[in-house]
Amino acid sequence: MTRIQFWLTAVLSSLTMASCMSGVLTTINTGIDAMLLNRWFHSFSIAWPIALTLNLLILPQVRRLAAWLSQKLHHQR
C-alpha cells in the first residue's frame, strides 16, 4: 500500500464510519425532528477526529493481525 493509499483509506473509512454511526445513534437516541441534522453534525464533528486518529494509530496493527491470523488459519488446513 502506498503512503497516499494509506492516508486516503484512513480518511475515507473513518469519515464513512463516523458519519454512519453518529447518524444512526443520534437518531436512535434523540428521534427525528427539525434539529436532527444539527445534532448529527455535532456528534459527527466529535466522532470523526477520534475515528481518524484511531484509524491512523490502530489500523496498521489490525492489518498485521489480520494477515497473521489468515496465515495461521491457512496453514491449519
Helix (H) or strand (E) holding 25: helix 3-30
User: 47 or 75: whose pLDDT is higher?
Assistant: 47
Q: What is the mean pLDDT of residues 6-32?
A: 96
pTM: 0.78
Using pLDDT thresholds of 50, 70 and 90, give the confidence band for residue 35. very high
Q: How far apart are CA 36 and CA 17, in angstroms?
A: 18
Q: What is the mean pLDDT of residues 49-77?
A: 91
Q: What is the pLDDT of residues 40-59, one digit of tens each?
A: 999 999 999 999 999 999 98
- pLDDT of the residue at 6: 87
- pLDDT of the residue at 19: 98
Q: How far apart are CA 66 and CA 58, in angstroms?
A: 12
